[in-house]
Structure 1
Amino acid sequence: MDFSLPRARKASEPALPMINVVFLLLIFFLMSAQIAAPPPFDVTPPEASSDGAAEGERVLYIARDGQLALAQARDEAVWDTLGGPGAGEGGLTLAVDGGLPAATLARVLARLGALGYDDLHLVTRAE
């Protein structure tokens, strides 16, 4: 019979502190990341020399061919969304393609004015 003492096992390092660090990093990166939906179509804004940033909660996209997009609404559904409850309240940001004819933009602005929107911001790119 063997009456010798069993060999002591080497203590393993606890994994809990490492798991805590990984979850803290995950939460940090999720909270600091900006998650935004991509624009519905490519828009090349016109050039401007101002440095001011546009403000507004909603962005109305206008493509070169006159297509409209606001959140999930497209074309004529945009006007239903803009004319709904609270029409004209708050700012509206316009992301307009630089190749859009001025006459088309004038018609859109007139229709927005008729709905009560008077706080409009035009997105431009620096020269």
Structure 2
Amino acid sequence: MAGKKRSKKDPPEFRNPQLGDALQTQDMAAVAFALRHGPTVVPMMRPGQRDNPRDGGEVWTYRDPKTGDVALLLFSDATHQPEALPPTVALQSPGWLRAFLGTHEAEITTVFLDIAGPHPMQATPADLIAALDA
């Protein structure tokens, strides 16, 4: 049933349909709007502890063994995450994403959105920070 409401016992949906639509058009303004107003699916090495709100877990990043460059991978939907990545994901808020990028901007070389498709996009951390601050 398309109009069915989720009950409190249904698991959360790990997706941002607005971000998926924006990636489909490859419109950076629409991507920026979606990132500012909705969650982002982030792969996690270790999830945060539920009983400790200060423990946000450990975000998974990719380090190129040849160059040492670090990439952050973000997804519009958990189903777009490649199987080679850790299976744990978190649904992070725009505020979290802005804080994370601000803290790690010097380390992260590039950010990939839906790297395995269906509509991948690449940006610098500075570009995403500017989009989130707009």
- Shorter-chain TM-score tier: 0.3 to 0.5
Report the TM-score when normalising by structure 2.
0.33
Task: Kindly indicate which of the two structures has a greater share of residues assigned to strand.
Answer: 2
Query: Which has the larger Rg?
Result: 1
Report the TM-score when normalising by structure 1.
0.34
